[in-house]
Structure 1
Amino acid sequence: MSDENNLPKNGDESLHTSVPVTGMYKEWFLDYASYVILERAVPAIEDGLKPVQRRIMHAMKEMDDGRFNKVANIIGQSMQFHPHGDASIGDAIVNIGQKELLIETQGNWGDVRTGDRAAAARYIEARLSKFALEVLFNAQTTEWQLSYDGRKREPVTLPVKFPLLLAQGVEGIAVGLSTKILPHNFCELILASIEILKGNRSNVLPDFITGGFADFSEYNEGLRGGKVKVRARIEEDDSKTLLIKDIPFGVTTDTLIDSILKANEKGKIKIKKVVDNTAKDVEIAIQLAPGVSPDVTIDALYAFTDCEVSISPNACVIIKDTPVFLNVNDILDYNTKQTRALLKRELEIRKAELLEKLLFSSLEKIFIENRIYRDIEECTTWDDVLKAIDAGLEPYKPDFYREITTDDLVRLTEIKIKRISKFDAFKADELMNRLQDELKEVNHHLRHLTDYAIAYYENLLTKYGKGRERKTEIRTFDAIQANTVAASNAKLYVNRTDGFVGYGLKKDEFVCDCSDLDDIIVIRKDGVCMVSKIQEKNFMGKDILHVAVFRKGDERMVYNYIYLDGASGRAMVKRFQVLAVTRDKEYLLTKGSKGSKHLYLTANPNGEAEIITVYLTQGAKARVKVFDFDFASIEIKGRGAGGNILTRYPIRKIQLKMEGVSTLGGINIYYDPIVGRLNTDERGKLIGNFLGDDRILVCYKSGDYELTTFELTNRYDVANVILIEKFNPDKVLSAIYFDGASKTYYIKRFQIETTTLNKNFNFISDHKNSYLKLVSTEKQPQARVTLAKGKEEEVMEYDLDMLIDIKGWKALGNKLSTYEVKELSLIETKKPDVKKDTETDENDNEAESDDDIEIGSTIDLSVKKDDEEQLGLF
């Protein structure tokens, strides 16, 4: 302690001396950061627990007597080891209990699905689960340390023989560091660990207690930079009601409903009401507004609400007091090898225990049967007693696995006279034989340690795997274009003269309903095309000819355009598409010559090509001053193409003569069986070429059929679809289904008689166990059937069209066979490849030169070159 005379007094200069704190700050900050990382936020890789969780588990183990304990009591017990307050301990206990793995709970522990909090700690109870007792604790293999105040002993890490870190998941934020490891499936982790022990590489994917769908294509093995998309499970109850059955991980029913209501207020979706019917299972009912498509609304819910969330994992763990970033498969590999090492250590400990028991049992038998105890009767000192016993054991020492110590001799002197008098050599031999057998078993396990570890994992799976099957369905999600599925929450207006476009110009010309996410395309009289994001009021250039909502990549929208080229004086004609552009960039549709001007423009959403009548001026030298032109006679090219020559003479006016039809033909529609969606990008199976009124036929395993449009927003349940094809009302459906009531297969043939769209019609028996086995629209379908005839099996091939006549779709059908059907499959017929009706030219978007073919020569091929000027076409 400092001498009082050396303390600074008032007036001393030393009181006002400045002390730099830079170095102190650096040291203190690093110390604090290290403390938070190691002692609070990041789990150890060995047991997957944060310090507070480990101390809770240790405290519960000390308290364990098989009965439930009040959580308040557990908190108090844990505070002997944990230097923080009771609130942090209580929250950690609830968090562990809600994961339903290590703790058995009693009382109201809250609900992760609804966000409801647990009751107060004095009202709820907990105890260690049987799984935790078996997997987490072993005092003999635990490394111990003193608690924060030195009064207690606590584990450095628990000897966990299971990948607990991946099973529970963890999330923590430290100073300058964070970790987020997603929970994985219990059963899949065990199976993956078994594969690792067999020498194979594992690849585990997260599984969430809230269920739903998840896309792990960008998971990146849980490393930083990866991403997981999770979606709610949304079912179509009827044409006016959607039901949300599962919610995404990390989202509660309350936050989900709030996001839906906000999206509705902003006009992104259109709904009437949301009702939370969640009880034992999640169910949120969404009632749709009149005229709203359920399929489009489902996409909009995923696009604009918490029905779809993106989770960014960041796997960080503590290894030897250092934070390390590892992928989840490396973590699992580490935990699996650690489990094997712990099992080996336990076996070695047990082996040592057995050897000691065998040693002492042998010593005891020799001591009693050879009456060595009588040799010590004459001894007068303690040393003489020990020497006498040691001398009596001398002939047997070579048979022992280790040297006999003084402690062994002392233990023999502690045998009571009563035990000596009642010693039974037969029972002693039996005990030693049992110990020998167990020792042989332990040695066998040590020699075959990998097989022993695999058997250990298999035992865990058998005992605790029931009810822990995967809850989250693995899917590949399709990309949802937000502007495609957004509800029309705005109206588009235009002031053509002044050049303003937007949803705030309510006094000007109305164009169409739109969304505030849309892009707008404008074509002006000066031959400029431009695309811009919709705004309240946006200047896009004066003298607007055409304005509409722009759909990127829309190959069906074709513009028919005629303009006067200022340089040559020719009237040029072109058909073009606008597939992809840069926002707010001006694109010339003419050749850019001074004096070029617009003559004619139409926008055709399905590639229509009309016929026009062209009137030349009275002063034109051409003799034929009026002629017709069909836009179908030229090809569709890029927006930058110069076009073909329509005429060299000045045009007085152009009039529409006849509305055109599409020159694009039908649309080739594909079905992607991975995401259950239609597309035109050649992904999946080609269903067919579709025109306006064509329909799609879908048959489901549930025994329903449905007619739908070919809108790309349609959704189909991948797991339930058994047939999807272009609907032909003349085709006959041949179906074989299993009747749940009679447990027999039936066959029926029928034609679709209904015309209602987007409605399911059940065509098999209505028993809950009935299901559709196979269905075909082939003219002469064949099936291969394996029948059980007594003890033998016979394979038959049936022509289904010969077994039963065509009946109504509600008919029950006939029994397929009186024998038991073992196997059933369609015999596929080879179909010719369906070629696309339309093919695109790679050079369509290239601009043409001035040497383009003149249009007049395509009207009448019999016209001679000498007569061209007289016809007035040029």
Structure 2
Amino acid sequence: MSEESDQNLNPNEEHKHTITPINGLYENWFLDYASYVILDRAVPHIHDGLKPVQRRIMHSLKEMDDGRFNKAANVIGNTMKYHPHGDASIGDAMVQIGQKDLLIDMQGNWGDPITGDSAAAPRYIEARLSKFANEVVFNPDTTEWQLSYDGRNNEPITLPVKFPLLLAQGAEGIAVGLATKVMPHNFIELLDASIDSLKGVRPNILPDFFTGGAADFSNYNEGQRGGKIRVRAKITEKDKKTLVITEVPYSTTTSSIIDSILAANDKGKIKIKKIEDSTAAHVEIIVHLAPGISPDVTIDALYAFTACEVSISPNTCIIQGDKPHFMSVNDILIENTKHTKSLLKKELEIRLHELQEKIFFSSLLKIFIQEGMYKNPEYENSANFDTVVEVLHLLFDPFKPSLYREILPEDFKKLIDKPMSSITRFDVKKADEQMKNLEDEIKVVKNHLKHLTDYAIAWFQKLKDKYSKGRERKTEIRLFDRVEASKVALANVKLYMNREDGFIGTGLRKDEFIADCSDIDEVIVFREDGKC
């Protein structure tokens, strides 16, 4: 066998895969996965306040928007063109957006986050964009686009939201190695704080929960890691035997509140006769006390031993510049306000360009008709478009200094495409009036650009005037006294002692009874020699 044939025995020898250790593969795969979960799943972007699935739902709703309600199932199906993770995650995210009652108008049973009731199936509920969303969230001219996951469609990188949406809605997400928990804030207070920020005053915003209740924000730490919020239900004394809970803490439901009260009663922490859930349009949990039990002590015990008081640890993490960042809510508001101002500037610049183009072409058309250029023999006898351009350039030469930009061939194309009927019916007076209106609007736009801060302040004020009805603060800001569990705990166990063997406890029922106590009391025993 020849040397050449020997070399061809294994023609794929040189194409063998490079051997990579398994630990190296897992390291790379883990980093890719972690980066994907952080950037594309769990953490919202600072500019529009949305996670990718939420952004795709909003884009899909805008794409389908005709002013009428759409079946949620149809919206989910359309969103799957942009979101590769299935209909369940899209449906859950859509319900969460709807329940926040800002971006989506809802029809049907969308569930109730206060009672914990889930929404009906997507085929039974409908949605459309709210007026607020249409005005504040979208503008295709200022949106940056990218290809969808399969390359078939374009989707927004971020939506051009002109409002601190992240702080209004809040956000929660768990990624690899980090988590985010942004508290929702009050709509009106955010707009006021944005105006203050534009005036050079540093904002100081505090959360506001749709569930109401009262909250102690003394350790809020501007929403950063290490901060803590204490939130309490609103409990009132109806009479000496009855308490009524009318507002629940954020992150709880009426069901979880009732379960925690029953559990505390079973453990002897509190003593109640019965509990009724009369919640309908508003929360109403009625707690009937056992005979001889103090309502005031029971209220403190409810805060100490049940979900009527919860502690929430915020952790404000956002995506900025394709990286996760930990920021205070006040710094996020300042950044959102700056971003809104820059978007308003872009919109004004785009509008100015549109107006200038309109007045430019109107001027061209007026000159073209008034000077009778369309009757010029050289123009009429031009053999091709290039010749037409040359002739028109010569004819327009005396008028070029009065135009705001150079005349391009496509401008001439628009002129010669004008039908003769519109040329013969041209009304000079009407054209002058339209141009005057355009010039007046240009002056207004230029004035807004010159005084951009005032224009941005007016924008936030307009949103406040237009959409703030019914969005007053729901959560009362308070400083709570610490409830000492040992002082409100009921004596729910009996203490016994076996003197002979030296034992003491609650299970020695055949031995000497010492006292009634609670299961969190501390027992101190003194011996004859004075030691304890």
Residue 230 of structure 2: SS of its match in structure 1? strand
Where does residue 628 of structure 1 map in the other structure?
A: none
Equivalence for 2:48: 47
Q: 1:224-271, CA deviations, whole angstroms, 9 ceiling, x for partnerless residues?
A: 111111110001011000000011111111111111111000000000
Cα distance between partner residues in 2 of 1:525 and 1:290: 41
What pairs with 1:685-700 in structure 2 (closer than 5 Å)?
none
Match of residue 460, structure 1, among 451, 457, 463: 463
Q: 1:437 aligns with which of 435, 440, 453?
A: 440
User: Which residue of the partner structure matches residue 353 of structure 2?
Assistant: 352
Distance (Å, rounded) in 2 between the aligned partners of 1:132 and 1:503: 62
Q: CA deviation at 1:497?
A: 6.1
Query: How many angstroms apart in 2 are the aligned matches of 1:382 and 1:473?
Result: 73
In terms of mean alpha carbon deviation, does 405-414 or 141-150 score higher? Answer: 405-414
Q: Who is 2:106 aligned against?
A: 105
Task: Confirm or deny that 1:404 pairs with 2:410.
Answer: no
1:180 aligns with 181
Q: Counterparts of 1:283 and 1:383 in 2: how far apart (Å)?
A: 80
- The CA deviation at 1:499 is 4.4
- Which of 395, 399, 412 matches 1:392? 395
**1:6–1:301 distance in 2 versus 1, CA, 3 Å:** farther
Secondary structure of the structure 2 residue equivalent to 1:279: coil
- Letter of the 1:483 partner, please give it: S
Asked if 1:482 is matched to 2:509, the reply is no
Report the alpha carbon displacement of residue 7 of structure 1 after superposing the two structures with TM: 6.4
Aligned with 1:501 (options 501, 504, 522): 504
Quick one: which amino acid aligns to residue 467 of structure 1? G
Letter of the 2:86 partner, please give it. G
Partner SS, residue 411 of structure 1: helix
Question: Hey, what does 1:22 align to over in structure 2?
Answer: 23
Deviation of the 1:306 alpha carbon: 0.5
Quote the offset at 1:495 in angstroms: 4.3
Rounded Cα–Cα distance in structure 2 between residues aligned with 1:243 and 1:409: 77
Shift of 1:44: 0.9
The 5 Å alignment of 1:114-129 reads: 114-129=115-130
Please give the per-residue CA displacement for 1:632-661, whole angstroms capped at 9, x wherever unaligned. Answer: xxxxxxxxxxxxxxxxxxxxxxxxxxxxxx
SS in 2 for 1:39: helix
Shift of 1:422: 1.0
Structure 1 pair 293/6, CA: closer, same or farther in 2 (3 Å)? farther
Give 1:75's aligned residue: 76
Partner of 2:316 in structure 1? 315
Task: Quote the RMSD (CA, aligned, Å).
Answer: 1.7
1:191 counterpart residue number: 192
Q: Is structure 2 residue 530 aligned with structure 1 residue 527?
A: yes
Q: State whether residues 373 and 389 of structure 1, in contact with CA within 8 Å, keep that contact through their aligned partners in structure 2.
A: no
Query: 2:323 is matched by which residue type in structure 1?
Result: T
Q: Write the deviation string for residues 58-89 of structure 1: whole angstroms up to 9, x where unpaired.
A: 11101000000000000000000111110010
Distance in 2, matches of 1:24 and 1:163, equals 41
Q: Secondary structure at the match of 2:89?
A: helix
CA distance in 2, matches of 1:381, 1:367: 19
Letter in 2 for 1:523: F
Distance 1:310 1:26 in 2: 37
Q: Counterpart of 2:120 in structure 1: which amino acid?
A: A
3-state SS, counterpart of residue 44 of structure 2: coil
Contact kept in structure 2, 1:229 and 1:311, CA below 8 Å = yes
Take 1:150 and 1:50, find their aligned partners in 2: how far apart are those partners?
20
User: How high is the sequence identity, in percent, across the aligned residues?
Assistant: 64
Tell me how far 1:498 sits from its aligned partner: 5.3
C-alpha displacement of 1:384 = 2.8
Tell me which amino acid in the other structure corresponds to 1:450: T
Partner Cα separation in structure 2 for residue 447 and residue 238 of structure 1: 63
CA distance in structure 2 between the partners assigned to 1:243 and 1:175 by the alignment: 42
Against the structure 1 CA distance between its residues 377 and 328, is the aligned structure 2 distance closer, same or farther, given a 3 Å change threshold?
Answer: same
Q: Tell me the matched-pair count.
A: 521
The offset of 1:388, in angstroms, is 2.3
Q: Does 1:517 align with 2:527?
A: no
CA drift at 1:344? 0.4
Matched, 1:88 2:89: yes
Gaps of 5+ in 1: 9-13, 531-874
Report the Cα distance in structure 2 between the residues aligned to 1:41 and 1:446, rounded to whole angstroms: 37
Shift of 1:510: 2.8
Residue 385 of structure 1: how far off its partner (Å): 2.0
For 1:109, give the aligned amino acid: W
The answer on whether the counterparts of 1:103 and 1:127 sit within 8 Å (CA) in structure 2 is: yes
Could you say if the C-alpha distance between residues 524 and 19 of structure 1 is closer, same or farther in structure 2, counting changes exceeding 3 Å? same
Shift in Å, 1:406: 1.2
| Residue 64 of structure 2: aligned partner | 63
Deviations 1:432-474 (A, max 9, x none): 1110111000000000000000000000011110001111111
> What secondary structure is seen at the aligned counterpart in 1 of 2:33?
helix
Change (3 A) 1:379 1:7: closer
Alpha-carbon distance in 2 for matches of 1:18, 1:388: 71
How much has 1:6 moved relative to structure 2?
4.7
Query: Are 2:234 and 1:230 aligned?
Result: no
Q: Give the match's secondary structure for 1:441.
A: helix
Partner of 1:216: 217
CA shift, 1:492, in A, is 2.4
What residue number does 1:273 align with? 274
Find out whether 1:282 has 2:283 as its counterpart: yes
Q: Which residue of 1 aligns with 2:423?
A: 420
CA distances 1:510-536 after superposition (whole Å, capped 9, x unpaired): 3332101111233333223x3xxxxxx
TM score, norm. by length of structure 1: 0.58
Q: Which has the larger radius of gyration?
A: 1
Counterparts of residues 256-267 of structure 1 (less than 5 Å)? 256-267=257-268
CA distance in 1 between partners of 2:346 and 2:385 (Å): 39
Separation (CA, whole Å) in 2 of partners of 1:326 and 1:178: 13
Q: Measure how far apart 1:127 and its partner are.
A: 0.3
CA distance in 1, matches of 2:111, 2:322: 34
Match of 2:164 in 1: 163
Task: Tell me by how many angstroms 1:5 deviates.
Answer: 5.3
Describe the SS at the equivalent of 1:476: coil
- Give the partner amino acid of 1:428: A
Deviation at 1:379, TM superposition (A): 3.0
For residue 143 of structure 1, what is the aligned residue in structure 2? 144
Match of 1:492 in 2: 495
Residue 369 (structure 1) shift: 1.1
Q: Structure 2-normalised TM-score? A: 0.95
For 2:380, what is the secondary structure of its paired residue? coil
Of Structure 1 and Structure 2, the greater helix share is in: 2
Instruction: Report the Cα distance in structure 2 between the residues aligned to 1:5 and 1:373, rounded to whole angstroms.
Output: 78
Q: After TM superposition, where is structure 1 displaced by more than 6 Å over at least 4 residues in a row? A: none
Aligned residues of 1:102 and 1:131 also touching (Cα < 8 A): yes
Residue 3 (structure 2) aligns with = none
Letter in 2 for 1:120: A
- 1:600-611 superposed matches below 5 A: none
Counterpart secondary structure, 1:523: coil
Q: Which has the higher contact order (CA 8 A, sep 6+)?
A: 2
> In proportion to residue count, which structure has more strand?
1
Which one-letter code corresponds to 1:205 in the other structure?
A: L
Per-residue displacement from partner, 1:572-618 (whole Å, max 9, x unpaired)? xxxxxxxxxxxxxxxxxxxxxxxxxxxxxxxxxxxxxxxxxxxxxxx
* Inter-partner Cα distance in structure 2 for 1:418 and 1:457: 47
Which residue identity does 1:482 align to in structure 2? A
What is the CA–CA distance in structure 1 between the aligned matches of 2:216 and 2:492, rounded to whole Å? 30
Q: Deviations over 1:31-63 (max 9, x none)?
A: 010011111001111111111111111111010
Does residue 383 (structure 1) correspond to residue 372 (structure 2)? The answer is no
